[in-house]
Amino acid sequence: MAAACPGIDRHTHLEGSLDPAWVRSEAARRGLELPASLEALWRREAQPFEAFIEAFLFGSALLDSKRAVREAVRAAAARLGPAPRGLDLWVSPHFLVVGKKLLSLDDLWRGLEDGIAEARSQGAAVAVVMDAVNHFGPRHGREVLDLTLGGLPPFVRGFSTGGLERVPFREWAPVFERARKAGLRLAAHAGENGPGANVREAILDAGVERIVHGVRAAGDPALLELLAERGIPVDVCLASNRNLVPELAQAASHPLPAMLRAGVRCALGTDDPGVIPCDLAEEWAQALALGLTDAEMASLAENAATDAWCLNSGL
């Protein structure tokens, strides 16, 4: 019998986690019209990446108070299922506090703290990973660290880059090193909207210890071998990949089985489930539908727990 969903979401974004019902209610209260792109995504209609960004930014703009931040954490934790254990939660503090000026850093931390305390009372540990934007470049990464390193709450465990993979990871290496010296663990979105070679560069040149998505690495046996030999965890988000990685949008398959069979330490996450609807149980059902064996499903469950930063600080 295939392993049951372990109640651990290895990758979800605060800004993409708001419950659609809450977004509808809040938009109506504020007199805002929902973007057609967001309505289409909620109907599970494939949209181009630009439309996803429009929908993502609409929801993000509602995160302008401690209450809203707590609601986003609550929605993310609710998608863990009936036996919640843990959530690795990506958050973009510079985007919310400086870029969009939605709330103060203190209010962001307090909203997260309230949401995390509520999740903990329900059995789920939460770790926050600060996310910088790759295509904004290393200067932006330094600004993220300048903003936050003066008083990081203990629930902040990591530093990552997301966004478009346009700036070489070797240029980001000094930023990652500064984050590492501050006690943060290192991750990067790589091999999602950029080539698989970005995964290699993020590991070898930037010192990243965890990869988000990495699906475009599957076509390179040497790169899969590198991931397996170094035991690099890879967070795979099936619903998101099928919407945002063009070659997977119409494909009946997904690289997850090939990655697991190459020995890569994959686990599942929901990514932006308030925009591209899914929950953790659906991710597990999709994985099973790919033809994974019971042993492979058990490996997904074991990897989810062993490599989750919410359960294992590694510091």
Percent of the chain scored above 90 by pLDDT? Answer: 92
pLDDT digits (tens, 9 = 90+) for 171-182: 999 999 999 999
What is the overall mean pLDDT for the chain? 95
pLDDT at 47: 83
Domain range for 100: 8-306
Is the pLDDT at 134 greater than 80, yes or no?
yes
Give the mean model confidence (pLDDT) for residues 5-29: 97
First to last CA, the chain: 35
Cα–Cα distance for residue pair 215/195, rounded to 1 Å: 9
pLDDT digits (tens, 9 = 90+) for 62-74: 999 999 999 999 9
Give the mean model confidence (pLDDT) for residues 3-21: 96
pLDDT grade, residue 313 (50/70/90)?
A: low
How many folded domains does the chain comprise?
A: 1
Percent of the chain scored above 70 by pLDDT? Answer: 98
Does 1 reside within a domain? no
Q: What angle do CA 299, 304, 307 make, to 5 degrees?
A: 110
CB atoms under 10 Å from CB of 1, counted, come to 6
- DSSP H helical ranges for the chain: 20-30, 36-42, 49-60, 66-78, 93-94, 105-121, 138-148, 169-181, 197-204, 221-230, 238-244, 246-249, 256-261, 280-289, 294-306
Q: Which of 200, 260, 297, 277 is nearest to 2 (CA)?
A: 297
Does 2 reside within a domain? no
pLDDT digits (tens, 9 = 90+) for 217-230: 999 999 999 999 99
Does 313 reside within a domain? no
Estimate to the nearest angstrom the gap between the alpha carbon of 277 and the chain centroid: 14
Give the mean model confidence (pLDDT) for residues 151-164: 96
Contact 114, 148 (CB under 8 A): no
pLDDT grade, residue 314 (50/70/90)?
A: low
Give the mean model confidence (pLDDT) for residues 245-270: 91
Is the pLDDT at 1 greater than 60, yes or no?
no
The CATH number for 255's domain is 3.20.20.140
Does 251 reside within a domain? yes
Q: State pTM to two decimals.
A: 0.96
Give the mean model confidence (pLDDT) for residues 296-311: 97
CB atoms under 10 Å from CB of 38, counted, come to 24
What are the b/e assignments for 233-244, b being 16+ CB within 10 Å?
A: bbbbbbbbbbbb
- DSSP H helical ranges for 34-86: 36-42, 49-60, 66-78
Does 60 reside within a domain? yes
The more confident residue out of 294 and 45 is: 294
Does 289 reside within a domain? yes
pLDDT at 315: 40
pLDDT at 255: 96
Residue written as tokens 């390179």?
Answer: 220
pLDDT digits (tens, 9 = 90+) for 93-106: 999 999 999 999 99
Does 120 reside within a domain? yes
Phi, psi of 158 (to 5 degrees): -150, 170
Does 102 reside within a domain? yes
Contact 33, 74 (CB under 8 A): no
